[in-house]
Chain A
């Protein structure tokens, strides 16, 4: 249950299977998939000397090379491949598709392969972006992919197909044939669940895996049920970097940072290749600071020992350790730059204050106080426009049903302080998307008397950290599921999964795959990672159509 390893395994298998000088051809969508799990030098050592895109038709003919194609079976990629096979640049072709390919498409390819260059056609199901070992995304960000088709409760056709394919690929690569449950609110989850179930039945042979003690569970959640989590500012390393700067396919673009060094304009953050990042990606800013300090100290000790070279033995040691040392120095400067940028932004944009209020809004009910605080922060020039809108959004979500709410006044206030029309129009939009009527479950714990009591009790206990008191709504769902108490009414099974509910509902699921329609967050990823570490015998993988930050 490790998505990075699963995709890595596919890539390695591809490269190892073919000996000799090779060229790797990718398409627009497989390029980030491969780049997240493999490095250039990694590919070089395995005799993969050239990497190119299949849609680049200006490639030179080199018949002595073997060609690996790793493509998504989209119609465009197939078109390019057909053009390539008609007029092949390389000697042999080994074609790997990242998902199931239709029989008719195989036939089409066979028609055009007049030069007899194709040696293999395989399906390797690495069809998603493996971000952490327990987090994957389908990389469908807003401007290019729309989630909704007609109306707010309906899928966009392409996004829907891609989601189905992505989840199917994830299941195949993890070798899981799950029972599927979905959040009953809205029709999107149900449609996705049914389609996945249909596909599994269609490809019966493919899903014929070894029997496990308990069937794995695929749980499909809808972002609209928890609109709060992606809005909150985060304080753990990976989530913070994504929230403030943005991580795109494992890369962070620092070119907007004032006086940054040239080689740090774009950096790579990968838990797979960077042990320091792996160790500290879930630490909050305070612990991270301590951690990075010791990292720098370690580096300085090494530098010192490298500086005083007195004997020939020292010399030899130096030469042997130098490449490792150089790697370390690059890594140290990278993380120092990143963390200092984060703390600069925190100070400049008064993020501590904003975050405290955000957490208050998310966790505690205190209308008048909250309203007053929001008004002062909106008036503050240092707070970014984005943060102001987020505060109002949170307010609107929490007090939507309160009789004396003043959403209207707050929106007016936003306008008065020069927040753009587009941004303030998000407030009614979010209520339309994820307002009370569209949610299920008690997000703010203020619906029933009992949960009010519970939240009051939680307040009495006190919290150790004001900035991290919010836990994602998903946590509660998983907890219930692990205890076998997740109700069929809120999270029904797909019809035709054909499991006697008596037999399975009591069994504690051991492998869970969660898929978020509308995108997961790094906060949830952290929650899942912690749960994986603390709960013996349970493995959870989180996935989403994308990974959110507050920009949305």
Chain B
């Protein structure tokens, strides 16, 4: 308020007191509500009484009064300061005046004083919020809130505009406040508090938003992983090269030993030698199907120890050329499992990295050797085996295993793809069919042409077919041989969810025969009258109808039988009884239909 006082102080420099100072200049008197110019305060007062005697304008009125008072008071304080010519005193006087004008003082006058939010300052600002979009009052207005419908302005209903949408509401339904800017748009930053209706209140941006914040760390992760992958690629390339070298060494010694063998050994040992070879062939042949199984512990369990020993010793020096071996004495514990090496717990060198590990299955194991690691073909036979630590083993076969898994077909995957395709198909057809049914129901029997009927029947049939395939596939998935318990669980769960899906979506299908049935009777009548001479197509239709009905009943029978089983399992014997009754009904109906069909044919 003191800021307001200063400009007028400058405008009217030290003048003697006169009456003019009490009244602001004519041009400044505007009605605070409708901006109509008034010539004097008295006229404005009159105008306010006549034009704005609504309850809701009282707040504005008060704020206007405040304005007017301010203007009236300013010259007075200024005058007193000029007469006393002691600024501190003047300011203290103006303070005391201002105290009178404190919000409390005004709000005590205010009718809206019960609502703490509507302090005069806001009222003053509210003039700025546009109102030209407000709904016109007619005197017979009803609250715009759905289900309310109170006549406004009567009894305790009250009458309020929502400042945002401008519609009229009763007092109960505008008990919300939101911040609006001058063009009555929501503006949480600079807006001012305004009355609003529930609809506008909740439709503020983000108010009913249930989506929580999320943050993706994928980019950071991928960036870091690139480094890892580069390192890993480099490493596995190196190891693969070493493995190929080792394989070459093995094949050369293998062939040389085979050449030497007949000359060095007698026929008995030759027999056993070839026997060994056969054994090796069979084991390798049986384990070709996957590297995974080659790598698993049991693959090398049957390896022939003494032969390996002899070849191993021969290979040993050659193998050392691939990678430098660690010195035996430098290592006392296995670096992987931390066990101390003893006479029983022997040191072993990893042929790929040269470090010393123990023979424990988790630390090191025998790995198969391939001549060509980079080839895509998986089904090449290993040429021998050698020892490697677990880290190298993982690295060196990384690429091969990945490739193998890519190429290996999974029956469940294929079936599941079929299942999904069928589902997509069904979902495409189902809304179309439902639309048709709705249309048929709406048009009643009068306008039903035979074509739409037929069409609906066709769609229904193809839908039923799709459902049947869907069911069949899900059953096949369930029947697949499962090699592990979780595989079993997976298949069972797919089957269960497929069943749920069928139960949910098959019911609409049964709506059609229900519409067909009552319709078909009158149709039969008219048809029978009109086309009595050509009974054969009519009979054909009848038979088709019967067949369709029979199919529908069969379906239902299946469903109900399923329910019976369920209920029995859950020991709900009441339900079982009810269900059994209905099952009997169904069977009777099916019998009847079959008999009728037999009659026709």
Contact = CB atoms under 8 A, between A and B. Distances in A.
Interface stretch (B123-131, B318-326, B575-583): B575-583
A173 B570 CA distance: 40
Contacts of A122: 214-218
B563 A322 contact: yes
A115 interface: yes
Interface in B46-71: none
Interface stretch (A103-111, A360-368, A370-378, A401-409): A103-111
A306 interface: yes
Interface stretch (A26-34, A55-63, A236-244, A461-469): A55-63
Q: Please classify how large the interface on chain B is, using the bins under 10, 10 to 19, 20 to 34, 35 or more.
A: 35 or more
A144 interface: no
Interface stretch (B82-90, B202-210, B246-254): B202-210
A318 B494 contact: no
Given A111-B224, A536-B176, A537-B176, A313 B514 contact: yes
Contact of B486 (A59, A326, A536): A59
Interface in B583-599: 585-586, 589
Interface stretch (A42-50, A149-157, A265-273): A42-50
A319 B556 contact: yes
Q: Say what secondary structure dominates the interface of chain B.
A: helix
Contacts of B556: 315-316, 319
B221 A121 contact: yes
Interface string B192-216: 0100001001001110011111111
Interface in A316-330: 316, 318-320, 322-323, 326, 329
A44 to B, nearest CB: 4
B487 A125 contact: no
B234 to A, nearest CB: 12
Interface string A1-43: 0100110111001000000010000000000000000000100
A263 interface: yes
A266 to B, nearest CB: 15
Contacts of A110: 221-225, 227-228
Nearest to A207: B213
Contacts of B497: 41, 44-45, 47, 49
B141 interface: no
A113 B406 CA distance: 18
Contact of A213 (B188, B209, B214, B501): B188
Contact of A120 (B204, B218, B493): B218
Nearest to A2: B210
Interface string B558-586: 01100100110011101100100110011
Contact of A315 (B394, B570, B585): B585
B507 A21 contact: no
A435 interface: no
Given A110-B221, A211-B188, A62 B486 contact: yes
Contacts of B210: 2, 5-6, 8-9
A59 B410 CA distance: 18
B177 A537 contact: yes
Contact of B188 (A64, A212, A508): A212
A451 to B, nearest CB: 23
Contact of B217 (A106, A115, A483): A106
B217 A121 contact: yes
Nearest to A306: B578
A60 B485 contact: yes
A44 B499 CA distance: 11
B576 to A, nearest CB: 12
Contacts of A213: 177-179, 188, 191, 193, 204
Nearest to B412: A64
9 contacts: A5-B210, A47-B497, A60-B487, A106-B217, A211-B188, A263-B570, A312-B585, A315-B586, A319-B507
Given A64-B413, A316-B510, A507-B193, 9 more contacts: A10-B212, A45-B500, A110-B224, A114-B228, A126-B212, A175-B209, A206-B215, A210-B205, A322-B560
Interface of B: 116-117, 175-179, 188-189, 191, 193, 198, 201, 204-206, 209-218, 220-225, 227-229, 232, 394, 398, 402, 405, 410, 412-413, 416, 484-487, 489-490, 493-494, 496-497, 500-501, 503, 507, 510, 514, 556, 559-560, 563, 566-567, 570-572, 574-575, 578, 581-582, 585-586, 589
**Which 6 A-B pairs have CB atoms at the shortest separation, nearest pair first?**
A173-B212, A110-B224, A44-B497, A60-B484, A49-B493, A5-B210
